[in-house]
Amino acid sequence: MAIIKPFRGITYNSKLIKAPGSIITPPYDVINSEEQERLYRKHPYNVIRLEYGKTYPEDSDTENRYTRAERTFRQWLVNKILMPEQKRSFYFHEQAFQWHGETRTRFGFMAALKLEPYASGQVLPHELTMAGPKADRYQLLKYTRANFSPIFTIFPDAEQKMESYREIVRALPPAFVITDTLGQNHRLWAVQDRDILAGLTAYLAERPVLIADGHHRYETALHYSQKTNLNRLPGAGYILATLVGSTDPGLLMLPAHRILFNLDHDQRRQLEQTIAENFHFLDRGRPRELDREAFIAEIEQLAPESGTFGYITPTRAGLLLPGRSPEITDLPVTILHKGLLNPAMNSDGSNSQARIEYTHEISQAIETVLDQKADAAFLLGSMPVEKILKRARSGLIMPQKSTYFYPKLPGGLVIYHMRDSGDGAILRDSGDGAILSHNREPE
């Protein structure tokens, strides 16, 4: 099903970078202007300059964040700040993090994943995407022809095959040991063992992969590959992906709670009317007197089977159970959008996204409402990963930002360049930066 290949990754030169934790970065889509500035100041070689560079008022078609990324990337290669791997590898990545006082460890590996249309069933989406981020990522691809951060994918692993590879890889010396700014610990291994490469390639060939995080980047790369002459640039047919088994004990999928802002009187009335028509409301009393722990536990208990989710306003809190309409039978987040947000928020023809924000912290959602900074919040329970996989294999797509896989994967650990075809082809680096093409359009 999924086609993966080892590749010659580009990594930071460990002889020159003495504090590697200072050069990696979160994914571009969680970086605001303040975080961007902080990362710029943290280290002159922080990968933020490639992944998500600054914009300036004087930017033009010939001088902008994308041309600067291309120029900087080339210069770092010439100066050997960045170094291509000598042999094709899979890059195993272990990420240790804290969650509610408990240390958890997620284990996966980076490979070049063949780009396929969703219709093939080999690579599965689970969320809708937006046009804006894809336009930005396309420009970056067009200029640099590189992936500076991996997409995050999950594959069915009922056999727990990855556990056996974890034992083998952990016995090897890591190429990098990094503690990032969030206190998360990363270990990276470049593995060239033929049995491991062949074994994982064959194992993934029997199963699809689900995009957990990175839909925009995947769709952008697919679009780019479809406009590219793959005979001349075969590496454009692949994308950098981290692959994690579905049974990994460190795999943590959180719901993305919805917070509603700036509703006028008619919108609040329409919201309450839609709730009355489509849902049963189980009152849990005044929000400030709410037993949060019990309330959250109730949502978690009821959500997987009944589609229930929490609802809180400045004056009331409770649970919303779907009505008996046959159209309202699905995952809670889909029920929320199909049965409530879409009919209530779009009744006047406006765009509901302008009034919705998302958070994976349920306490933040509740506090925002209690502080009267928001009109309402919808609190969602966790869903089993296997249920999301099953849905995706049936071709069902969830609303935007339905899930939040925690923690995010960092950028900058390994870079994939299209001049590597994914099958070990030699990167054309003559020492003067020839690894980068000066063509702006796909070949």
Q: What is the pLDDT of residue 329?
A: 52
Kindly give the parts of the chain with pLDDT less than 70.
324-329, 346-354, 421-443
Rounded distance between C-alpha atoms, residue 298 and residue 365, angstroms: 17
- Pairing mode of beta strands 317-322, 279-283: antiparallel
Three-state secondary-structure class, residue 27? coil
**What is d(CA 286, CA 290) in angstroms, rounded to the nearest whole number?**
6
CB contact at 8 A, 111 and 243: yes
CB within 8 Å of 182: residues ≥ 6 apart? 97, 407
- Of 118, 149, 140, 152, the residue nearest 224 (C-alpha): 140
Cis previous bond, 407, omega within 30: yes
* Integer CA distances (angstroms), 278 to 147, 338, 358, in order: 45, 10, 23
Backbone angles phi, psi at 203, to 5 degrees: -60, -45
- Segment 129-174, tens digit of pLDDT: 777 778 999 999 999 999 999 999 999 999 999 999 999 999 999 9
Contact 424, 6 (CB under 8 A): yes
Helix (H, G, I), strand (E, B) or coil at 333: helix
pLDDT in tens, 222-251: 999 999 999 999 999 999 999 999 999 999
Model pLDDT, residue 100: 84
What does pTM read for this prediction? Answer: 0.87
Q: Where are the beta strands (DSSP E) in 355-430?
A: 356-359, 376-379, 403-406, 416-417
Q: Which residues neighbour 191 within 8 Å (Cβ) at sequence distance 6 or greater? A: 89, 90, 91, 92, 109, 169, 172, 197
C-alpha closest to that of 282 among 313, 247, 309: 309
Report yes or no: 141 and 224 within 8 Å, Cβ to Cβ.
yes
Instruction: Note the pLDDT of residue 354.
Output: 52
Q: Which residues contact 202 (CB under 8 A, 6 or more apart)?
A: none
Q: Among 247, 233, 93, which Cα is nearest to 163's?
A: 247
CA angle 270, 259, 297 (to 5 degrees): 105
Characterize the bridge pairing of strands 185-191 and 102-114. Answer: unpaired
Question: With contact defined as beta carbons under 8 Å apart, do 104 and 252 qualify?
Answer: yes
Beta strands in 299-384 (DSSP E): 309-312, 317-322, 356-359, 376-379
Strands (E), 151-308: 151-155, 176-179, 185-191, 209-213, 238-245, 252-255, 257-260, 279-283
Q: What is the reported pLDDT for 347?
A: 53
The predicted pLDDT at position 331 comes to 82
Distance between start and end Cα atoms, the chain: 27
Asked if residues 411 and 27 have their Cβ atoms less than 8 Å apart, the reply is yes
Using DSSP bridges, classify how beta strands 279-283 and 356-359 pair: parallel, antiparallel or unpaired: unpaired
Is there a contact between 145 and 132 (Cβ–Cβ < 8 Å)?
no
